[in-house]
Chain A
Amino acid sequence: MNQWIDACAPDDIDEEDLIAWEHAGRKYAIYNTEKGFFASDLMCTHEEQSLEDGLVIDCVIECPLHGGRFDVCTGKALSAPVLVDLKTYPVKVESGRVFVQVEG
Chain B
Amino acid sequence: MPDYVPTNAASSGVRLDKKTLKSIATRTDRPGLIWLAQWTLGLVATGTLVWAALGTVWVWPAMLLHGTLLTVPAYAASHETAHGTAFRSRWLNEAVLWVSSFIFIEEPLHRRYSHTNHHTHTWHVGEDSQMPYNIPLRFAEWFAATTGIIPLIYHVKVLYVLATRNFSDMILKFTPEPELPKMTRNARIMIALYVLIAVLPLAGIWWPVWFIILPRVLGTPVMILLVLIQHAELQENSPSILESTRSFTTNRVMAFLYMNMNNHVEHHLYPQVPFHALPKLAEAVKDQVPEPDHGFVRTCAELGLVVLRRSLGRSTKAPTIRQAPRMITDGGPIHSIAQKTM
Enumerate chain A interface residues (CB-CB to B < 8 A).
17, 46-49, 52-55, 57, 62, 64-67, 69, 78-81, 83
Contacts and interface: CB of A to CB of B under 8 A. Distances in A.
B84 A55 contact: no
A83 B176 contact: yes
7 contacts: A47-B6, A48-B2, A52-B18, A53-B21, A62-B272, A64-B8, A66-B83
A55 B109 contact: no
Contacts of A48: 1-2, 6
A66 B7 CA distance: 12
Contacts of B22: 17, 55
Interface string B264-301: 00000011100000000000000000000000000000
A55 B120 contact: no
A49 B6 contact: yes
B116 A66 contact: yes
A80 B178 CA distance: 11
A78 B83 CA distance: 14
A80 B271 contact: no
Contact of B271 (A66, A78, A79): A66
Nearest to B94: A79
Contact of B119 (A54, A66, A79, A80): A66
Contacts, number: 59
Contacts of A69: 84, 90
B112 interface: yes
Given A65-B120, A66-B119, A53 B176 contact: no
Contacts of A46: 116
Nearest to B90: A79
Contact of B88 (A57, A66, A67): A57
Interface in B30-47: none
Nearest to A16: B22
A48 B8 CA distance: 13
Given A17-B22, A49-B6, A54 B272 contact: yes
B113 interface: yes
Contact of A79 (B21, B84, B88, B120): B84
A17 B178 CA distance: 31
A67 B270 CA distance: 11
A16 to B, nearest CB: 9
Interface string B56-92: 0000000000000000000000000001110010100
B246 interface: no
A81 B272 contact: no
B179 interface: yes
A52 to B, nearest CB: 8
Interface string B159-188: 000000000000000001011000000000
B27 interface: yes
Nearest to B176: A83
A48 to B, nearest CB: 5
A3 B272 CA distance: 35
A49 B120 CA distance: 10
A67 B272 contact: yes
A11 to B, nearest CB: 15
Contacts of B241: none
Given A48-B1, A53-B272, A79-B84, A65 B6 contact: yes
A17 to B, nearest CB: 7
B232 interface: no
Nearest to B27: A57
Nearest to B177: A83
Contact of A81 (B18, B90, B116): B116
Nearest to A63: B272
